[in-house]
Amino acid sequence: MATATAGSPSASAQVASPVESSPGDQANFDSSPVGGLPEEPVKSSVSPQPSPSRREPSGAQPSPAPPADISVDLNGNDPTPPTSPGGNNQPMSPARSTYSHGTHGASFSRDPPPQGIMARTMAQLSAATNRMVHKVQAHRAKAAARKQGGKLLLQQLQDESGAKDPSLVPGIMITPPPDPRYVAPTLAQTLKYKIFGAPGPIDPATGKVEIPDPVAAKASTWYKVKGSRRRTSQQMAVKLGKALKHHDEDFELLWAGVQRQELLLNKIKTDGKRLAAAIQEQADAAKTMASHIASLAETSIELGEGPEADARRAVVERARQLMEVMDVMDQDVRPACLEHLNNSVNKPVGQLCEEFPTYQQCVDKRTHYMLDMDAYERKLQKARQVAKDPAKVPHREEQFTKAQRRYTYFSDKLVEDLTLLDANRYELAGFLIEGFVEMQEFQSHRQTDVLAGLAQGKLPPKQ
């Protein structure tokens, strides 16, 4: 490196190394280009010096002012480098200096920036909303699964009882046209026959109108509309007192028992979750309480000799035993009790609640069949009283007979299934009773075995 002589004109304007007597320190602060190239003179003798880590090229803007721990000489001398914290006047290296030029040597934190109150609130609201959405989706999925199970159960019950047999469906029967010898055709009947067509010919042997396609007739929209209108009319007649409501107290009691069984299973499931949470909470509270009690015996001073010191040491040892027992209770007894409760009660009950048969749609269908039967019976009574056409009474009788047979077959099959389901609750109750008792005994025995260690070495009672 080229050095300037003392008498040269550029010696006063040229920046000298901070400490000329220390080659190591000069190497730390002097970062002139390699190869001994001369340094450019500084534009102003009172301008602050550049960062020790590099030099400013000729014509560049002056560097920002150094921090307060670097002193600047107005005569143009070098800034005094910061000393070490020990006060030995040793210059600090650039890595230890608190001043950096631009982004050179700056430290960056990889931690995320702190969130404000609004950001934290929005994050909590978003998390709560997601949890609520997941709960709603799970509830809807469960409801859809139960509804689908009810549909399958209804189809199975209808197939077994023969309720879908066209010979038992009164609603698809075609009313024979009125006999003009007894009843003159009305304007409404004439318009109906002109729009929808007249009914087919009457079979001389049976006196009925043949149904072209019973399956298609039953699946038509018009069949469903007529059925809904017929049941609504029957319900209105019952409310107005024009018809009597069909009561079946035995079935109502049976269905109430099945509903109560499902309700109790759901309550047992909820109680099982509460019991598991209570066991967890009780164990946590017991361990915390024991820890606070044992903390009373902690001491940082050396216990001396004598009876009083021996008594204190016995208390300290007793506190240590208590914490060991509570650790075993927390790590061994509590998980084992929770697992036993889950296997003996909670898990079987949860599975029973999920797989409990959904007979509600079957009961609703039975109610529809009962309303149809009552409606056709009312129409039959009316036909017997006011009908002028003698062929109308046999038609109503056949409709009522089909509705009555369909209701009877379906109701008998449904009652049979519900009776078996209701009788199953005694076996189920016995299973859950034994499982609950075994869990209580298991918890009591495990706690007794662990606490047996504390039975020895009890402290003598205070005199």
Asked if residues 261 and 425 have their Cβ atoms less than 8 Å apart, the reply is: yes
Range of the domain at 324: 126-164+254-456
**The predicted structure's pLDDT at residue 207:** 58
Element housing 377 (H / E): helix 360-386
Please enumerate in sequence order all residues whose Cβ is within 8 A of that of 157, keeping only pairs 6 or more positions apart, or say none.
163, 362, 410, 413, 414, 417
Q: Which residues pair with 102 in a beta bridge?
A: none
In a domain, 436, yes or no: yes
**Residue 328 to residues 139, 161, 336, 443: CA-CA distances in angstroms?**
39, 60, 11, 13
In a domain, 199, yes or no: no
Over residues 236-259, the pLDDT tens digits come to: 999 998 888 888 899 999 999 999
Element housing 324 (H / E): helix 307-328
In a domain, 386, yes or no: yes
**Residue 254 to residues 258, 309, 367, 429: CA-CA distances in angstroms?**
6, 74, 15, 18
In a domain, 50, yes or no: no
The CA radius of gyration of the chain, in Å to the nearest whole number, is 48
Which of 285, 401, 277, 281 is closest to 346 using CA atoms? 277
To which residue do tokens 């529809």 refer? 368
**The predicted structure's pLDDT at residue 108:** 55
Over residues 261-318, the pLDDT tens digits come to: 999 999 999 999 999 999 999 999 999 999 999 888 887 777 778 788 888 888 888 8
340 Ramachandran zone, left/alpha/beta (phi>0; psi -120 to 50): alpha
Count of alpha carbons within 13 Å of 458, Cβ hemisphere only?
Answer: 6
Asked if residues 157 and 417 have their Cβ atoms less than 8 Å apart, the reply is: yes
**The predicted structure's pLDDT at residue 450:** 85
Long-range contacts: 216-220, Cβ < 8 Å, 24+?
A: 217/172, 218/164, 218/166, 218/169, 218/171, 218/172
CA 387-393-394 angle, to 5 degrees, is 160
In a domain, 421, yes or no: yes
**The predicted structure's pLDDT at residue 26:** 44
Residues written for the chain: 463
**The predicted structure's pLDDT at residue 200:** 65
What is d(CA 83, CA 90) in angstroms, rounded to the nearest whole number?
A: 5
Number of domains in the chain: 1
In the structure, how many helices (H) and strands (E) does the chain have?
11, 0
Which of 167, 172, 214 is closest to 406 using CA atoms? 167
In a domain, 49, yes or no: no
Element housing 430 (H / E): helix 392-451
The DSSP symbol for 209 reads B
Q: How remote is the C-alpha of 155 from its chain's centroid?
A: 33
**The predicted structure's pLDDT at residue 318:** 87
In a domain, 293, yes or no: yes
Q: Which residue ranges of the chain lie beneath pLDDT 70? A: 1-109, 111-114, 177-182, 196-210, 212, 456-463
Asked if residues 322 and 451 have their Cβ atoms less than 8 Å apart, the reply is: no
Asked if residues 117 and 127 have their Cβ atoms less than 8 Å apart, the reply is: no
Please enumerate in sequence order all residues whose Cβ is within 8 A of that of 204, keeping only pairs 6 or more positions apart, or say none.
none
* Exposed/middle/buried for residue 63 (C-beta within 10 Å: 0-12, 13-18, 19+): middle
List, in sequence order, the alpha helices (H) in 186-306. 187-196, 214-219, 221-239, 249-295
Name the 3-class secondary structure at 91: strand
Other CB atoms within a 10 A radius of the CB of residue 272 amount to 22
Over residues 19-65, the pLDDT tens digits come to: 444 444 444 444 444 444 444 444 444 444 444 444 444 444 444 54
**The predicted structure's pLDDT at residue 51:** 43
45 Ramachandran zone, left/alpha/beta (phi>0; psi -120 to 50): alpha
Here the CATH number for the domain that contains residue 385 is 1.20.1270.60
In a domain, 171, yes or no: no
What is d(CA 301, CA 293) in angstroms, rounded to the nearest whole number?
A: 19
To which residue do tokens 């606070």 refer? 292
**Residue 92 to residues 67, 81, 316: CA-CA distances in angstroms?**
14, 7, 53
Confirm whether pTM is higher than 0.85: no
Count of alpha carbons within 13 Å of 320, Cβ hemisphere only?
Answer: 9
Q: What are phi and psi of 83, to 5 degrees?
A: -90, 165
